[in-house]
Structure 1
Amino acid sequence: MSNLKLDFISIGGNRHPSAADWDSGGSGLLAFGAANNIALWNPSDGDYQGIKALLSGHTKAVNAVKFFSSGNPNSTVILSGSGDKTLRIWRSDLNSSTSFELVKTITDHQSSITCISTFHGSTLFASGAADGEIKVWKVTEDASPTEINVELLQSIALSPRYFPLSLALAKLDESSLVLAAAGTRSTIQIYVSQNARFNLAATLTGHKGWIRSLDFVRESATNDSDLLLASASQDKYIRLWRVHPGEELPAVSSAINDPALGVLGKGLSNKAHRIESAASKYSITYEALLLGHEDWIYTVSWRHKKGKLQLLSTSEDNSLAIWERDTISGVWVCITRLGEISAQKGSTTATGSAGGFWIGLWALDGQSVVSLGRTGSWRLWTYQPSEDVWVQQVAITGHVDGVKGICWAKDGSYLLSTSSDQTTRLFAQWRRGSKRSWHEFSRPQIHGYDLNCIDSVSPFRFISGADEKLLRVFDEPRGVAGLLNRLCGIRTSSTQSLPDAANIPVLGLSNKAIQAVDDDEPVVNDEEGERDAVDPASVMRKSTLDFNHPPFEDHLARHLLWPETEKLYGHGYEISAVATSKGGDLVATACRASSLDHAVIRLYETKEWREIGPPLRAHSLTVTSLEFSEDDHYLLSVGRDRQWAVFQRKTGSVTEYKLAASNPKGHSRMILDGSWAPTEPGRIFATAGRDKAVRIWQLSGSAAISKTSISANAAATAVSFLKRVIQNNLILAYGTEEGRIVICGLSSSDIEKSELCIIEQKLSPMKAINQLAWRPSYKETISQDTDASHESGIQQLAVASDDSSVRIFRLHDLPTPQ
């Protein structure tokens, strides 16, 4: 569709140390595995547009991503490996650095790909997999700009067998390359190429745990200088190894005698391992042990800076460290540590613990570093030479598991999403002058159960349902309201008395309201008889949210929760659906069910949060979706029993409903979603089913007439009507199990007339669409201008998918029947 633009993509990174790479070829792109996709992001983008594109093709999680130097300055090549056992090669379009095409799929590995290594300037690359094999490949570009040829040069069966977790390639001399391999053993195997084949030349011992990362570097800028190899292990240590040409050994490293090593120094060996290429002989000796991390180390990465070598490392201890060799003693020391200090760790992300840093990468110029944490969010720091400090910058965040539900605020001001990763996230548009960009501005709920559904009760309140059999209601805190007003132009509530913030007590699931205190105010325990120190997570300083940019991951995980105000009980199984009335005074809920007794719909009023009357009965299996009509006169429910039901509000009551119509055979297979059209053309609703059909119905008395059926190419999993009539047409969007999104224009005077537009595949998810939500009309309060997203027929559609992504599409010139 030429009249469509992808405004925003949010998706978290995969927690695998090999699953990201920052291009050293000049494109500025950082590519990382995101579920079964490859996400492209430019961390140096001053407009903060976030993820530029998602490359879809893999069918399972992407574990390894590497940029490949193809020798063609006009294109960028990305190598990726996945749990689907395939290697894929992507090449950028000549007209766009962010538009990539899949040019080759390699299926030689027999198990999940775990790591890929490339060497700048070489046509070779190596891949490792859980089948216990390393394969060496040669890449040649065909004369055609769209072709790349890949030749398998060698398969190395690891002996003793282990799973390779990291590979590193380097140039040994003009005739040979050296390959280091390590993984689920405590040893490093060194292979040297001779006559185009790699042979095992040495096995390095010393680590006491699995080895997660390897990286080679030349000690100086000259090609004849020694090679240094860094290895990072789950034993909490980094070891450095020296590859020295000639038969004479290098000078013994003074690091072995470092008194800081204590008793460890007695166990360090400087045994020389002899290797040779076709042209020369070499020795590999232990160089140094780097101490400082308190937990598993996931990645190490070298860079040269003004004649000095620096090493970047990331660890499960929530820190990122930069190491440098002391010019006097020769001992490697940590000169910078970024991330979280131990005193701020908590038992959950809500109290501050990031759960470790899994990936650390240098920018091409060495002035920026990024790291990926357990929550799927990236952190970005840039170096400020004038102040000699590293300053954190705005980065990107996203879900790390299937997004099960989305909803816009009642006034359309922001978007809420909820996921099987047990978090609820709030996305809004950052406004600064004429510039606009979408970001995560709050993480209202961090839970202990998978979250299944969500809906907005008011612009300042929402309700969510999870696998824990109850629903929770959350109110916007003052800190979040102020942040959204200041940076997004979203009005704050003037009628509610808001708490300052919220936190999750240790071992708790309920967000508790807390008050902010002045920066200089001492924190004391007010509990009588309590002598324990105050938990830092239970206190927030007033200056904490005083910043002029979207929040960092540190803020989202610790300070931007919403306090929980109510719990709704009554259901016996996991919550499957929730809907609020358009007026916000009623909530309808349902749970998973395999019997009539549990397949009921419960209604709650939102003033006292009491259940109203007996449950509504119509279904015999799980109710999958609920929606109130625009005027709240009707409630639509659909279920796994292939039935839809319409409940009508009783005359003279605003809270009581009765069954008005139902169809036990609405579809030939289970119905997964339903949606009401605007009320102007009559009582029209749509249902989406696993029978690959979207059916349009019109209510007439105690029955509904099937007006038309739209065939889908796969099971229809989500459907949503735009709640406005556009040029006498109804606009309907539906999504399928295969990730396809279709926009339909239906004539309101003749529903059987329709026009379809399919969103192109490269912009769509590759997994099931779980929910679609059109943005309500929204007017910003900073200026008197109408939000550009609703000018002259422009609409926005939010999409939640099982591929962990949240997407916002901008559409104009919507399809209209002739």
Structure 2
Amino acid sequence: MEVERVFIGAGCNRIVNNVSWGASGLVSFGTQNGVAIFCPKTAQILTTLPGHKASVNCTHWLPSNKFSFMATKLKQHYLLSGDANGCIILWELSLPDKNWKYILQLPESHKKGVTCISGIMISQTDAMFASSSSDGTVHVWELIFPSMSGGDCKLSLLQSFSAGTKPMVAVSLAKLPGNNGRIVIALGGLDNKIHLFCGERTGQFVRACELKGHTDWIRSLDFSLPINSNGETNNLLLVSSSQDRGIRIWKMVLQSSSVERSQEFSLTSFIKGPIFKAGSMSYQISLESLLIGHEDWVYSVEWQPPLSVDGIECEQPLSILSASMDKTMMIWQPEKTTGIWMNVVIVGELGHCALGFYGGHWSPNGDSILAHGYGGSFHLWRNVGFDCDNWKPQKVPSGHFAAVSDISWAKSGQYLLSVSHDQTTRVFATWLDELHSTNEGAWHEVARPQVHGHDINCVTIIKGKGNHRFVCGSEEKVARVFEAPLSFLKTLNHACLDKYSSPDDDVQTNLQILGANMSALGLSQKPIYVNATTEISERTTNEGMDTLETIPEAVPVEFTEPPIEEQLVWHTLWPETHKLYGHGNELFSLCSDHVGKIVASSCKAQSASVADIWLWQVGSWKAVGRLQAHSLTVSQMEFSYDDKYLLAVSRDRHFSVFSIEQTTASNEISYGLVAKQEGHKRIIWTCSWNPLGHEFATGSRDKTVKIWGIEENSSSVKLLVALPQFSSSVTALSWASIDNEKRDEGILAVGMENGLIELWRTSISRTENGIGSAKSATSVVALRFDPFVCNVSSVNRLAWRNSEMDMDSRTMELASCGDDHTVRVFRINLL
């Protein structure tokens, strides 16, 4: 077997300085404790880099977008990532083969979380970078790239120093004009001042001066490249932004050597600002401009990357991108006649979305701008105008910004549904293009059915005939039932181009519900009916301003191409049709049978009286049974593929098997406990049935997986095989069968707490006639996934796209989700 990564969906950590756009054209960002890399051209996440033990706070490319003119001949690009523990890791990307390599963890780590990393290219093979931390220290490093491919980097710590009594959260470096080889570092943070330090290439940075003016925390600093004026590059510009909503541009001018020392303290120089010395040269600082336009904290400012001419000369455009919590990004440029800085482009204003932007970044060639927001989302605009600016939104990758707790495939595999502690439910699907309908299509988020008021723990899609429905459970005692509206069914047809539709689906195409509205508290989503859309538009125009009680009506939309973030949030909600009351604590696990008639649910429990499994009848949504067997939380449940048995595993280290019988005539359900047994020495986290028989696997915190079989006649359970001990707690299992003549082969996918995934080939031998209970089982490891492909932290759920595989196709698809905020789809090729 071999594995191929098909899709990664992930949201961005909600922190400033987390995103970096490199000269390679790729964007890096932290997603929990992983570093994700995405390609803006394809709107796909390419990979995640494992290595950090804590949440990733910041990333920085060497060379970054500012130095793309120096990177035309570079085969290797480097990435720095810093986390909340103070650890910084250096990675290498080989451009020819697109391979990533973990180089090293920086030997001098900070005592607390890294707040910012910023670097500059001294030459094509030499870079300097500085890192700041909540512990108040700043580390300055030199990195020398290998002269030939396959060589080693040389990394050396030049200096560590403290800039002040309070932590610094913004750093920028620049070469001072005048070609004297001196470097200036600007630091900004919680004391509202900009601290300038000067030093030589070898280190020994000393305090040059302080710049005062901002009245709140300084959030972002960025040096331009030296500005060409009157044929000389004697000017350097520094832009700063703050929580005082203002942006300031500071100008550093190289003083001519004829300036008398007595003039340094004259009235004119006092008005202009401080003068600092770097070696034999002096630099005059003045406030060039104060930019006022944002209505909230300005989290980031960045100069447009220089334009290169034949990779040699470069010109710094006078253009600044700012991103703010007021949900806008602005581009500022000086007017040609007066020189007054004005905001010439404003994008954003996301209407009803959550809080605004944590940062904004230019593409290396300056034709695109990217923002990352409070909801872990990306927002990309590209300038598509020829003669004048015309910024249009573009597709970007999306995903959850908190742990993804559960996933479920649609009944015929058209899409994957995921739920998360970020309080959203999301639908991911391949979007097929009509021009290339033979291709597989690229994965995108196509709907966000639920935006909830609680962290969501579990979900199950109801199989069987009828419309698309799912049940989810969260940090409340209620399970909620959602049904797909007409707008989603039409969008799904565009996405799949009817590839998966079949006459057996019996989906209601004459639905009267077009979409759903969010309530004021985000707890219950009311339906919008087809004939009500005209009333909505009339009502919203008449009522005018919104109040807290009346959130503006959503407008359900049928999409003909993958929706972007603003559309997902507001136009793809599903109506909630039922609430299931009964549990005493927050819901923890859900499952449904394969004919779509029963849903089973469990909740968090500390005693046997609360640990009941409730059975609900689909349609009437009445409670039709309470199964008692466990004394602590039931962690996972699953129906056997013929729906005769319900398997449950629990934190009390036991598993239980119940027989379930449904009489079609009276719709009555009878059930009974077949077996209850202590299966492991620690919590049993997960279980999965063999699709071809009454065998099941259990996985536990004791790092073991065991395969059990039900004795058909005696109604008892016997252990068939115990797999060798794994490297970490087993947190997810999913069993699929391989359809061949033997009829007893399968693949068991095993997910672990450390994020790794393994596939084991199983073989069940039965009694002589080939039917009935299993005599024995064997299992051998077939494939261990590469860590660069796997989840970066605990795998919460694994799910095969179809449990049975036709041998003719030779490929299967496996989905995973985990604490690293990601949803992943893998293609398994049988060689």
Task: Report the TM-score, using the length of structure 1 for normalisation.
Answer: 0.89
The yes-or-no answer on 1:227 pairing with 2:232 is no
**1:205 aligned partner:** 212
**1:618 equivalent in alignment to 2:629:** yes
Counterpart-to-counterpart distance in 1, 2:728 and 2:138: 38
Q: Which residue of 2 aligns with 1:130?
A: 134
Asked if 1:154 is matched to 2:170, the reply is no
For residues 721-740 of structure 1, the aligned pairs below 5 Å read: 721-722=735-736, 725-726=739-740, 728=742, 729-740=745-756
Provide the rounded CA distance (Å) in 1 between the counterparts of 2:365 and 2:746: 52
Mapped partners of 1:125, 1:531: distance in 2 = 52
CA distance change for structure 1 residues 168 and 581 in 2, over 3 Å: closer, same or farther? Answer: same
Q: 1:470 to 1:536 in 2, by over 3 A?
A: closer
Q: Tell me how far 1:538 sits from its aligned partner.
A: 3.9
Judged with a 3 Å threshold, the aligned counterparts in structure 2 of structure 1 residues 657 and 239 are, in CA distance, closer, same or farther, namely: farther
In structure 2, the residue corresponding to 1:120 is in which secondary structure? Answer: strand
1:643-682 equivalences under 5 Å are: 643-650=654-661, 652=663, 655-679=668-692, 682=693
Q: Could you report, residue by residue, the CA deviation over 1:480-526 in whole angstroms, capped at 9, with x for unpaired residues?
A: 21111112235493356241111212124011112468999883349
Please tell me the root mean square deviation across aligned C-alpha atoms, in Å.
2.7
Residue 103 of structure 1: how far off its partner (Å): 3.7
Q: Given that residues 92 and 101 in structure 1 are in contact (C-alpha distance below 8 angstroms), is that contact kept between their aligned partners in structure 2? A: no
Q: Residue 53 of structure 1 is aligned with which of 39, 47, 51?
A: 47
Secondary structure (helix, strand or coil) at the match of 2:508 reads coil
Is 1:444 the counterpart of 2:417? The answer is: no
More deviation in 364-373 or 654-663? 654-663
- Which range moved further: 597-606 or 97-106? 97-106
Q: Secondary structure at the match of 2:360?
A: strand
State the alpha-carbon separation in 1 of the partners of residues 486 and 336 from structure 2.
51
* Cα distance in 1 for residues equivalent to 2:51 and 2:578: 43
Tell me, yes or no, if structure 1 residue 191 matches structure 2 residue 197.
yes
Report the Cα offset of residue 646 of structure 1: 0.7
How much has 1:463 moved relative to structure 2?
A: 0.7
Residue 606 of structure 2: aligned partner: 594
Query: Which residue among 329, 332, 346 is the counterpart of 1:337?
Result: 346
Task: Work out whether residues 91 and 100 of structure 2, in 8 Å CA contact, stay in contact via their aligned partners in 1.
Answer: no
Q: Determine if the alignment matches structure 1 residue 574 to structure 2 residue 586.
A: yes
Q: Kindly state the Cα deviation for residue 777 of structure 1 after the two structures are TM-superposed.
A: 7.2
**1:399 matched to which residue of 2?**
400
Secondary structure of 1:621's aligned partner:
coil
CA distance in 2, matches of 1:488, 1:65: 36
Residue 630, structure 1, aligned to residue 656, structure 2: no
Do the aligned partners of residues 568 and 761 (structure 1) sit closer, same or farther apart at CA in structure 2, a change above 3 Å counting?
A: same
Match of 1:356 in 2: 356
Is 1:168 the equivalent of 2:176?
no
Residues 524-557 of structure 1, C-alpha deviations (whole Å, 9 max, x = no match):
3499x98976999543557x545x3210000111
Contact 2:75 2:96 in 1 (8 A): no
Task: Describe the SS at the equivalent of 2:568.
Answer: helix
Task: Provide the rounded CA distance (Å) in 2 between the counterparts of 1:526 and 1:220.
Answer: 51
Q: Assess, with a 3 A threshold, how the Cα gap between structure 1 residues 73 and 530 changes in structure 2: closer, same or farther.
A: closer
Alpha-carbon shift at residue 604 of structure 1 (Å): 0.5
- Corresponding position: 1:179 with 2:193: no
Question: Residue 741 of structure 1 corresponds to which residue in structure 2?
Answer: 757
Aligned to 2:38: 41
**Residue pair 1:35, 1:62 contacting (<8 A) in 2 also:** yes
Of stretches 551-560 and 501-510 in structure 1, the one that deviates more from structure 2 is 501-510
User: In the superposition, relative to structure 1, how do residues 790 and 87 fare at CA in structure 2: closer, same or farther (>3 Å)?
Assistant: farther
Q: For 1:612, what is the secondary structure of its paired residue? A: strand
Check if 1:554 corresponds to 2:551: no
- Change in Cα spacing, 1:791 to 1:569, as seen in structure 2 (3 Å) is farther
Q: CA deviation at 1:329?
A: 2.6
Structure 2: how far apart are the matches of 1:248 and 1:290?
32
Equivalent position amino acid for 2:826 in 1: F
Distance 1:640 1:488, change over 3 A: same
Residues 217 and 229 in structure 1, CA contact (< 8 A), matched pair in contact too? yes
Which structure 2 residue ranges, 5 or more long, are not aligned?
64-69, 260-269, 308-314, 767-775
1:400-415 to 2 correspondences below 5 Å = 400-415=401-416
Aligned pair partner of 1:513 in 502, 508, 527: 527
Query: Is residue 605–residue 655 contact of structure 1 (8 Å, CA) maintained in 2?
Result: no
Bigger CA drift: 123-132 or 239-248? 239-248
Q: Does 1:753 align with 2:755?
A: no
> CA-to-partner distance for each residue in 1:211-240, whole Å, 9 max, x for gaps?
110001146357724111111111111111
Match of 1:771 among 764, 788, 797: 797
In the superposition, relative to structure 1, how do residues 604 and 724 fare at CA in structure 2: closer, same or farther (>3 Å)?
Answer: farther
Residues 776-791 of structure 1 mapped to structure 2, 5 A cutoff: 776=802
**Aligned: 1:273 with 2:288:** no
Contact 1:218-1:225 at 8 Å conserved across structures: no
- Seen in structure 2, the aligned counterparts of structure 1 residues 209 and 511 have a Cα distance that, compared at 3 Å, is same
1:539 corresponds to which residue?
553
CA-to-aligned-CA distance 1:121-171 (integer Å, 9 cap, x gap): 352111111110001111124578252221111111122x11111100011
Inter-partner Cα distance in structure 1 for 2:454 and 2:77 = 41
| 1:578-627 deviation digits (Å, cap 9, x = unpaired) | 001111111000000010110000011011111114x1100010000011
Is 1:214–2:221 an aligned residue pair? yes
| CA distance 1:505–1:660, shift in 2 (3 Å) | closer
Greater shift, 10-19 or 793-802, is seen at 10-19
Counterpart code for 1:57 = G
What secondary structure does 2:567 align onto? helix
Q: Determine the structure 2 residue equivalent to 1:112.
A: 113
1:231-246 alignment to 2 at 5 Å? 231-246=240-255
Q: 3-state SS of the aligned residue for 2:487?
A: helix
Alpha-carbon distance in structure 2 between the residues aligned to 1:777 and 1:482: 27
Change (3 A) 1:162 1:35: same
Name the % identity.
Answer: 34
Moved more, 130-139 or 297-306: 297-306
Matched residues in 2 for 1:219 and 1:179: separation?
Answer: 15
Question: Deviation per CA, 1:34-61, whole angstroms, max 9, x where unpaired?
Answer: 211111111023xx4x011111111111
Task: Show the counterpart of 2:727.
Answer: 713
Distance change (3 Å), C-alpha of 1:801 and 1:522: closer
| Contact kept? 1:411, 1:777, Cα under 8 Å | no
1:330 Cα deviation from its structure 2 partner: 2.1
Secondary structure of 2:788's match? helix
- Structure 2 CA distance, aligned partners of 1:332 and 1:517? 50
How many pairs were matched up?
A: 765
The structure-2 alpha-carbon separation of the partners of 1:103 and 1:663, relative to structure 1 and needing over 3 Å to count, comes to same
Amino acid corresponding to residue 112 of structure 1 in structure 2: G
User: Which residue matches 2:773?
Assistant: none
1:360-509 to structure 2, matched below 5 A, reads 360-386=360-386, 388-432=389-433, 433=436, 434-435=438-439, 436-458=441-463, 460-490=468-498, 491=501, 493-494=507-508, 497-509=511-523
1:4 partner letter? V
Indicate the residue corresponding to 1:10 in structure 2: 9
| Amino acid in the other structure paired with 1:752 | A
1:782 corresponds to which residue? Answer: none
Q: Assess if the C-alpha contact under 8 Å between 2:555 and 2:571 holds in 1.
A: no
Letter in 1 for 2:29: F
Q: Is the 8 A contact 2:468 2:483 kept in 1?
A: yes
| Structure 1 contact 516–541 (Cα < 8 Å) conserved | no
Task: Give the equivalent residue in structure 1 for 2:103.
Answer: 102
**Which letter does structure 2 place at the counterpart of 1:189?**
H
Letter in 2 for 1:408: W
The aligned residue for residue 310 of structure 1 is: 319
2-structure distance, mates of 1:772, 1:16:
29
Specify every segment of 5 or more residues in structure 1 that has no aligned partner in the other structure, as ranges. 251-268, 345-351, 779-787
The answer as to whether partners of 1:213 and 1:232 remain within 8 angstroms in 2 is yes
CA distance in 2, matches of 1:319, 1:708: 59
Equivalent of 2:708 in 697, 706, 722: 697
Q: How far does residue 22 in structure 1 lie from its aligned partner after superposition?
A: 0.9
